[in-house]
Amino acid sequence: MEMLDKIKDHLAEVEAFSAKTKDEVEAFRIKYLGKKGLLNEFFAEFKNVANDQKKEFGQTINSLKKAAEEKVASLKNEIDNKTETKGVYGDLYRPGEPIELGSRHPISIVKNKIIEIFSRIGFNVSEGPEIEDDWHNFTALNLPEYHPARDMQDTFFIQTDPDILLRTHTSSVQVRYMENNPPPIRTISPGRVYRNEAISARSHCFFHQVEGLYVDKGVSFADLKQTLQYFTTEMFGKSKIRLRPSYFPFTEPSAEVDVYWGLETETDYKMTKGTGWLEIMGCGMVDPNVLENCGIDSTEYSGFAFGMGIDRIALLLHQIPDIRMLSENDIRFLEQFKGVL
């Protein structure tokens, strides 16, 4: 009976046992359930027990074994749960999970730079709807119905209403701005525009423009040239420009603006077709009819306007070979612009 009492004492010890670490649990398991553990010793003593005591002795040993196994499983589960909770909530000073940083889109990079350059000389930013009406997109800009110059811009019209369309330029924003703001006016209008054109490496059915407008008393073509000279120097680091006569329905006189890019590399030859000059925008003095359509007295005020393609400048500055890459959202392409502001 002395051995039986010893087993019962161990049974009480097992039931009262607790642990805080996995090492303590493992030591407990080895003590009772290991190859050289107490349970094996007790089973070895079974052959020496009197026959009338074997039943009680065996039942007590089995109770001890079951209690030890359940205690080990219970303590392991309890410790695992505590470890998991601590890993999530416990150490508030632990390093955070690395967050993958994104990058600005090249269109946004160029647009923001253009806005920043013109903001230094007093130009604010104005925006308007991409779904526009005929008046703001065409008629107010000296393009009345059936005007042949409308064919210069292949337009997406809304079928249910032929007077509603997707804007073909951001000049419509300038019309809205002039209607609601008296001179002096100095604003740039960046935004997305739409034209029904075939998609290729150099053209798309939607792209981005930024157009500028300055209206005040005594504004001259010399003011326009000086403004564009400042812009090309700040944007490209190129100060040499030329203005070639051109035609736009909403400006008179009108001009195309070229910047002298140079011929220092083979890429320069390809971009400029061997001339060294690169066309970057159109410009001109605001036609008096446009001022009058917007409620501005053309006998008292004059102004100039200019417009350029943001996509084209992005292709130029970052040497992007295909305009379609700007709208495909290929993460491998966009990651190249990390760190560019």
Per the prediction, the chain carries an average pLDDT of 86
What pLDDT, on the 0 to 100 scale, is given for residue 91? Answer: 65
Across 140-152, average pLDDT: 77
Higher pLDDT, 43 or 71: 71
pTM: predicted TM-score of the whole model, two decimal places: 0.69
3-state helix/strand/coil string of the chain: CHHHHHHHHHHHHHHHCCCCCHHHHHHHHHHHHCCCCHHHHHHHHHHHCCHHHHHHHHHHHHHHHHHHHHHHHHHHHHHHHHHHHHHHHHCCCCCCCCCCCCCCCHHHHHHHHHHHHHHCCCCEECCCCCEEEHHHHCHHHCCCCCCHHHHHCCCCEECCEEEEEECCCCHHHHHHHHHHCCCCEEEEEEEEEECCCCCCCCCCCEEEEEEEEEEECCCCHHHHHHHHHHHHHHHHCCCCEEEEEEEECCEEEEEEEEEECCCCCHHHHHHHCCCCEEEEEEEEEECHHHHHHCCCCCCCCEEEEEEEEHHHHHHHHHCCCCHHHHCCCCHHHHHHHCCCC
Instruction: Give, in words, the CATH class of 106-337.
Output: alpha beta
Q: Map out the domains of the chain as residue ranges.
A: 2-89, 106-337
pLDDT digits (tens, 9 = 90+) for 79-111: 777 755 555 555 667 777 777 777 889 999 999
What pLDDT, on the 0 to 100 scale, is given for residue 231? Answer: 96
What pLDDT, on the 0 to 100 scale, is given for residue 110? Answer: 94
